[in-house]
Amino acid sequence: MAEFDRKAGVLWTGDLKTGNGLISTESKTLFELPYTYQTRFEDKVGFNPEELIAAAHAACFSMSVASTLKKNGFTPVQTDTTATCTFVVGDGVPKITKMVLHVRCEVPDIDEARFNELVAEADKGCPVSNLLRSGLKIEITNALI
């Protein structure tokens, strides 16, 4: 069994509202990417952690769908997944309340019922879905293209 440790780090300078952070990953895919209170809790354009969670979920889910389809005898041409992470700021502690996945796949020789069944199976095998599932509602819509 293979085990991998994936690392990311943040250097935050200052207080919450006037400070700023730089996020980097060990792979350098993200390197000193800046973010602030305003990019996370207000509508200022810029990076925020919730986008990173959504990106991780979309990436993982696409791979899980491709794998599940292949294991069941179908070869996907492409899988296009968009994840929308709902972040609520209001009463009490800010929280992530929902993740909506829109999955579009081009898969020869599959009917919609079988496709929907295999996407549901892929959700059960997606490590990020399984991590988020504890306490987070995950919605999935999918379509063949």
pLDDT at 95 over 80: yes
Q: In this structure, are residues 70 and 76 in contact, taking their beta carbons and an 8 Å threshold?
A: yes
pLDDT of residue 137: 77
Q: What superfamily in CATH does domain 49-144 come from?
A: K homology (KH) domain (3.30.300.20)
* Length of the chain counted residue by residue: 145
Q: In this structure, are residues 110 and 65 in contact, taking their beta carbons and an 8 Å threshold?
A: no
Q: In this structure, are residues 62 and 78 in contact, taking their beta carbons and an 8 Å threshold?
A: no
The domains of the chain are located at 8-41, 49-144
CA-nearest of 139, 141, 138 to 116 is 141
pLDDT of residue 90: 84
Task: Average the pLDDT over each of 15-29, 39-53, 71-85, 124-138 and give the range with the smallest value.
Answer: 124-138
pLDDT of residue 136: 66
pLDDT at 139 over 90: no
pTM here? 0.90
**Distances in whole angstroms, Cα of residue 18 to Cα of each of 15, 24, 36, 95, 131:** 6, 20, 8, 21, 32
Q: Which of 3-7, 60-64, 134-138 has the highest mean pLDDT?
A: 60-64
pLDDT tens-digit series, residues 18-58: 999 999 999 999 999 999 999 999 989 988 999 999 999 99
